[in-house]
Structure 1
């Protein structure tokens, strides 16, 4: 349990740092932006309590808002992502899998489940983020294009990161 907590703390620090130092300054004409920091919430162990998921999502969003000067937009999007995570896991996984301390992974839960989990989670996060940021229907097409391109680019970065740290599930339980 201490090892899992240590890995999540390291993941939190590393992803926040990479987001602020590298991805804050990368974008494509304000249409496509990268937000791989959402992996902090997506890769929490499956057995994590809902209260802790919401608490960590709030803290993650608050940390990003502090560096982006965005007054709570990322916090709201991270809490929406936490809600999605809880509902998606409850609907799609069996009870014994939900109780485990394993993190959702490509190798552990299969590519179809993992890809849909990451894609829809990214879409929910970006939809919430950009709708709250714009908060009007004046530039609906531009906002929709920004949501789509940012979701796809973040999804691609997350899949790339997942492939770099891919571990196949052992059949022997080792």
Structure 2
């Protein structure tokens, strides 16, 4: 019960920060931080995919509704939720080394940094290419992905030190 309330509070907090604060930050269209994906990243790894995928879809759809976008956040977040087990397995050396909670406190800085880099980069790649829906400006969009990913990764890792210490 306590865990459920914690995740509801995390969902609400991340979506509110994303919609009210971070969606207002745009530097020449190249720097768009998206940290709401942290909600999906921090769900327990033992949670079945049939639970994580709808949660990811609802999370992305909520951001879509408040951002007036047409499902691109829902698609990107659902994709990241789908690859999450593969990513966590691929960066863990041994199955027993990985905690069920994918936070930095339980898995270490290095593991969490790799996990965040991969998840955020995939999320932003899907998000930005769906947003423009063409490969005509491939280099310019890739530049946006890299800059936005770096800024998002910085905020997410910083949040592990400040807010999600457990």
TM-score by length of 1: 0.88
CA distance in 2, matches of 1:111, 1:9: 25
**SS of equivalent residue, structure 1 residue 27:** coil
CA distance in 2, matches of 1:58, 1:130: 17
Would you identify which runs of 4 or more consecutive aligned residues in structure 1 move more than 6 Å?
none
Determine the structure 1 residue equivalent to 2:83.
84
CA distance in 1, matches of 2:72, 2:148: 16
The count of corresponding residues between Structure 1 and Structure 2 is: 165
CA distance in 2, matches of 1:27, 1:103: 32
User: Unaligned regions of 5+ residues in structure 2, if any?
Assistant: none
Query: Shift in Å at residue 91 of structure 1?
Result: 3.6
Q: Which has the larger radius of gyration?
A: 1
Determine the structure 1 residue equivalent to 2:65.
66
Query: Shift in Å at residue 20 of structure 1?
Result: 0.7
Superposed CA offset, 1:117-159 (max 9, x none): 0111000000000111111122112101101000001001101
CA distance in 1, matches of 2:42, 2:164: 13
CA distance in 2, matches of 1:162, 1:95: 23
Asked if 1:43 corresponds to 2:22, the answer is no
Determine the structure 2 residue equivalent to 1:171.
none
Change (3 A) 1:97 1:21: same
Determine the structure 2 residue equivalent to 1:5.
4
Query: Shift in Å at residue 97 of structure 1?
Result: 6.4
User: Unaligned regions of 5+ residues in structure 1, if any?
Assistant: 169-174
Superposed CA offset, 1:70-93 (max 9, x none): 111001100111012121124444
TM-score by length of 2: 0.92
Q: Let me know the Cα RMSD of the aligned residues.
A: 1.7
**SS of equivalent residue, structure 2 residue 155:** helix
Superposed CA offset, 1:26-52 (max 9, x none): 111110101111111001112111111
**SS of equivalent residue, structure 1 residue 29:** coil
Give the alignment partner of residue 107 of structure 1, picking from 105, 115, 129. Answer: 105
Change (3 A) 1:87 1:21: same
Query: Shift in Å at residue 96 of structure 1?
Result: 5.4
Query: Shift in Å at residue 109 of structure 1?
Result: 0.7
